[in-house]
């Protein structure tokens, strides 16, 4: 079936990928004329829409001339590397989208490397040409450099280039051409991306992503690599561990536009969804029962960070969430394993705690954020790096960190990252910004964002992603100031916060109800202190309460979930509920904290 094209779209976060897809859908009449379409249609998950990032891969198709183009949207963030690699297995080519000012970014590099390894044919789209600060020629040179850096062969280096404005819905082959619509891009997909090979023989399909529906259960999505998949066929499933058993398909769907259309058979090369196999997993092969041959197993990136998820036991337990027991927490984590392939969950000696490992803090914080939105309450310990042994030596994960910062502040950033064992690999100017690239141990990233943003008055833009394991880089002197801990329970008063402002910065607002042992701010010195934030003003006949109007309180620092996880130390936790993110000490009682600190001081340092 050479009228079929399978193409994955890869791009860095915020380079306009999902907006471009919106325009392709409109121009190929996927939407009805009277249909009201929200923007960034593909980012259907609330979290994706708020953060402007794609987390889960999506499948849609468009019809152009008499061709069917399966478009596979991929996550751009390396924490979802497990998703990216599997999704690319379904494609024959990739659309590499690059911002006409920013050029190739670290996450573009990560996904492109995977695409080139799989020998996929690229089309480069330089997007956002309508930006006033665009620099398409330099960006194209940077793209060539990137391909050469990644070891692209001659064939891959001869990629077609399209200039586009996704927002305005036009694409051209040359910047001097008339800017009408996206036809040049669609023509290039049909001309330059090879059709899927028509492999004859017994049917073979590999499941590359899973969906779930309360009515029909698990839905396996994958591409037919060989033969024709028939609903009534005699089929077996080959599991990752080599076990084989017979299966029956109850429904078979292909992607038509944004919908799934039920069919009786799917031809070689097309992407389909299968309903009716209860134990289907990612990486399984469904094949002819008479001659079941497995496809190569999909490799999945190993986790680099682990955290302990615990049942919420704070004084405010159960006030804001509806799922609060250890059984509910356990069920939810094990359910996540069904489709989140890069995740690991281990039980611990405590029935209330689970060790959860993932690809990075973002990967795990997305899971926590989804859980709190579903009504779960939980507590999370500080993230820990997962070490490995290589050739008998201790090795740790190293990340590529890029920081874009105004030129005059670059020196400050280099100094701060250097203190965390970060090595400067590259430094280049982009307009009035300087782009710095470092290799830094994952340990060094924890708490780095706050420090860099403070030093640059919020001007720095940071991205980091896993690079590789390297031998241990040595101790990092992680100096964070101490914290201010609430002595009592109850609403914080403006009077108390005002009188304590010279001691440090607060994380809470007046009127916020806190409990004893909760972290309410950062101390200006290195030691922790206990503070009374519930203290009210003593009123006598001499002092009228009206004098409070002069109080001026600095706005509280509000952490995002990732920032909170990067901020905490080993004797602290983040309490997460549907309505709140609170920082707390593990031991809420001050005497227990003293005993813990004495015990820690008497332990030999390693």
Mean pLDDT in the chain?
A: 80
Closest CA to 570 of 478, 484, 485, 507: 478
Q: Does the pLDDT of residue 82 top 60, yes or no? A: no
pLDDT at position 544, please? 53
Q: Is 264 marked as a binding-site residue?
A: no
Q: Is 130 marked as a binding-site residue?
A: yes
pLDDT at position 308, please? 94
Q: Rounded to whole angstroms, how far apart are CA atoms 166 and 23?
A: 7
Q: Rounded to whole angstroms, how far apart are CA atoms 40 and 43?
A: 6
Query: Which tops the pLDDT comparison, 553 or 467?
Result: 553
pLDDT for 200-224, tens place per residue?
778 888 887 777 666 777 778 888 8
Q: Does the pLDDT of residue 313 top 80, yes or no? A: yes
- Pair of tokens at residue 541: 């006949």
pLDDT at position 543, please? 55
Residue 276 · residue 267 · CB < 8 Å: no
pLDDT for 149-189, tens place per residue?
888 888 888 888 888 887 777 888 887 777 788 888 888 88
- Across the range 73-77, mean pLDDT stands at 57
- Model confidence band, residue 79 (pLDDT cutoffs 50, 70, 90): very low
pLDDT at position 307, please? 94
Instruction: Name the strands in the sheet holding 504-506, side by side, starting at the edge strand that comes first in the sequence.
Output: 504-506, 519-523, 483-486, 529-531
pLDDT at position 54, please? 34
Q: What separation in angstroms does the CA of 65 have from each of 69, 277, 536?
A: 10, 35, 74
- Model confidence band, residue 13 (pLDDT cutoffs 50, 70, 90): low
pLDDT at position 521, please? 93
- Across the range 466-484, mean pLDDT stands at 84
- Model confidence band, residue 107 (pLDDT cutoffs 50, 70, 90): low
Q: Is 363 marked as a binding-site residue?
A: no
Which residues have CB under 8 Å from 170's CB, separation 6+?
164, 179, 180, 181, 182
Q: Is 238 marked as a binding-site residue?
A: no
Q: What separation in angstroms does the CA of 584 have from each of 206, 405, 491, 512, 521?
A: 46, 33, 16, 15, 10
Which residues have CB under 8 Å from 358's CB, separation 6+?
79, 303, 304, 305, 306, 342, 343, 344, 364, 367
Residue environment code for 2-29, b if the CB has 16+ CB neighbours within 10 A, otherwise e: eebbbbbbbbbbbbbbbbbbbbbbbbbe
Q: Is 282 marked as a binding-site residue?
A: no
Residue 460 · residue 403 · CB < 8 Å: yes
Per 3-state DSSP, what percentage of the chain is helix, strand, and coil (rounded to 5)?
Answer: 25, 30, 45
Q: Does the pLDDT of residue 38 top 50, yes or no? A: no
- Across the range 240-264, mean pLDDT stands at 78
Q: Is 348 marked as a binding-site residue?
A: no
Q: Say how many C-beta atoms besides its own lie within 10 A of residue 144's C-beta.
A: 15
Task: Please list the residues that pair with 438 across neighbouring strands.
Answer: 401, 424
Query: Which tops the pLDDT comparison, 324 or 362?
Result: 324
- Pair of tokens at residue 562: 């990732």
Q: Does the pLDDT of residue 465 top 50, yes or no? A: yes
Q: Does the pLDDT of residue 293 top 60, yes or no? A: yes
Task: Please list the residues that pair with 439 across neighbouring strands.
Answer: 400, 423
Most confident of 536-540, 545-549, 595-599: 595-599
pLDDT for 445-459, tens place per residue?
877 877 887 788 877
pLDDT for 402-427, tens place per residue?
888 888 888 989 999 998 899 999 88
Helix (H) or strand (E) holding 365: helix 361-373
pLDDT for 57-66, tens place per residue?
457 778 888 8
Q: Is 16 marked as a binding-site residue?
A: yes
pLDDT at position 77, please? 44
- Across the range 345-358, mean pLDDT stands at 93
Residue 272 · residue 196 · CB < 8 Å: no
Range scoring the smallest mean pLDDT among 32-46, 515-529, 551-565: 32-46
Q: Does the pLDDT of residue 594 top 50, yes or no? A: yes
- Model confidence band, residue 346 (pLDDT cutoffs 50, 70, 90): very high
Q: Is 440 marked as a binding-site residue?
A: no
Residue 16 · residue 97 · CB < 8 Å: yes
Q: Is 137 marked as a binding-site residue?
A: no
Q: Rounded to whole angstroms, how far apart are CA atoms 81 and 397?
A: 15
Q: Rounded to whole angstroms, how far apart are CA atoms 415 and 446?
A: 16
Residue 220 · residue 284 · CB < 8 Å: yes
Q: Is 339 marked as a binding-site residue?
A: no
pTM of the model: 0.70
Range scoring the smallest mean pLDDT among 8-12, 516-520, 546-550: 546-550
Query: Which tops the pLDDT comparison, 106 or 484?
Result: 484
- Model confidence band, residue 399 (pLDDT cutoffs 50, 70, 90): confident
Closest CA to 534 of 505, 502, 500: 500
Q: Rounded to whole angstroms, how far apart are CA atoms 582 and 172?
A: 51
Q: Rounded to whole angstroms, how far apart are CA atoms 584 and 189?
A: 53
Q: Kindly list the structural domains of the chain, giving each domain's residue range(s) and its CATH number in brackets, ordered by start.
A: 4-192 (3.40.50.300), 204-288 (2.40.30.10), 388-471 (3.30.70.240), 483-602 (2.40.50.250)
pLDDT at position 329, please? 94
Strands (E) in 382-460, as ranges, are 384-385, 388-390, 393-406, 423-430, 433-441
pLDDT at position 37, please? 37
> Helix, strand, or coil here: 166?
coil
């Amino acid at each position: 079936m050479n009228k079929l094209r399978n193409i994955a779209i890869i791009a860095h976060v915020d380079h306009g990928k999902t907006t471009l897809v919106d325009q392709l859908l409109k121009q190929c009449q996927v939407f009805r004329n009277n249909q009201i379409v929200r923007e960034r249609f593909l980012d259907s998950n609330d979290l994706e829409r708020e953060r402007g990032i794609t987390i889960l891969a999506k499948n849609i198709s468009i019809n152009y001339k008499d061709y069917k183009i399966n478009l596979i949207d991929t996550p751009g963030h390396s924490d979802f590397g497990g998703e990216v690699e599997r999704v690319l297995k379904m494609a024959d080519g990739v659309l590499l989208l690059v911002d006409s000012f920013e050029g190739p970014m670290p996450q573009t590099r990560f996904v492109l490397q995977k695409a080139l390894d799989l020998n996929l044919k690229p089309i480069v789209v330089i997007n956002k040409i309508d930006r006033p600060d665009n620099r398409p020629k330099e960006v194209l040179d940077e793209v060539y450099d990137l391909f050469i850096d990644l070891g692209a062969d001659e064939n891959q280096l001869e990629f077609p280039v399209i200039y586009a404005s996704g927002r305005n819905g036009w694409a051209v082959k040359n910047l001097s051409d008339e800017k009408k619509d996206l036809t040049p891009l669609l023509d290039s997909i049909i001309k330059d991306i090879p059709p899927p090979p028509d492999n004859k023989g017994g049917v073979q399909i590999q499941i590359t992503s899973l969906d779930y529906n309360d009515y029909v259960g698990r839905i396996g999505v994958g591409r037919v690599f060989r033969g024709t998949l028939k609903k009534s066929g005699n089929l077996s499933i080959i599991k990752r561990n080599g076990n084989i058993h017979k299966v029956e398909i109850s429904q078979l769907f292909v992607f038509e536009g944004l919908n799934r259309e039920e069919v009786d058979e799917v031809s070689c090369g097309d992407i389909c969804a299968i309903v009716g196999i209860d134990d289907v997993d990612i990486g399984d092969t469904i094949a002819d029962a008479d001659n079941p041959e497995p496809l190569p197993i999909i490799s999945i990136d190993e986790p680099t960070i682990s955290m302990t998820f615990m049942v919420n036991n704070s004084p405010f337990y159960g006030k804001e969430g509806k799922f609060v027991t250890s059984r509910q927490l356990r069920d939810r984590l094990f359910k996540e394993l069904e489709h989140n392939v890069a995740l690991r969950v281990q039980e611990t000696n405590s029935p209330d705690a689970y060790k959860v490992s993932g690809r990075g803090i973002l990967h795990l914080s997305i899971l926590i954020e989804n859980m709190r939105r579903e009504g779960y309450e939980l507590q999370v310990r500080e993230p820990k790096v997962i070490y490995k042994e290589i050739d008998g030596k201790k090795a740790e994960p190293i990340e590529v960190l890029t920081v874009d910062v105004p030129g005059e502040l670059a020196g400050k950033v280099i100094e701060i990252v250097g203190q965390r064992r970060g090595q400067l690999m590259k430094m280049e100017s982009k307009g009035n910004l300087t782009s710095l690239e470092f290799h830094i141990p994952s340990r060094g990233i924890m708490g780095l964002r706050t420090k860099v943003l403070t030093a640059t008055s919020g001007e720095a833009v940071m991205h980091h992603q896993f690079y590789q394991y390297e031998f241990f880089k040595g101790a990092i002197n992680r100096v964070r100031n101490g914290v201010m801990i609430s002595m009592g329970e109850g609403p914080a008063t403006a009077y108390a916060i005002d009188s304590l402002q010279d001691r440090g910065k607060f994380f809470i607002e007046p009127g916020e109800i806190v409990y004893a042992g909760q972290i309410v701010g950062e101390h200006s010195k290195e030691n922790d202190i206990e503070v009374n934030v519930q203290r009210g003003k003593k009123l006598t006949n001499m002092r009228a309460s009206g004098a409070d109007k002069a109080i001026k309180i600095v706005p509280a620092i509000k952490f995002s979930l990732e920032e909170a996880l990067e901020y905490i130390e080993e004797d602290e936790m983040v309490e997460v509920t549907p309505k709140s993110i609170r920082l707390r000490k593990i031991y809420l009682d001050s005497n227990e904290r003293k005993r813990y600190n004495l015990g820690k001081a008497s332990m030999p340092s390693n």
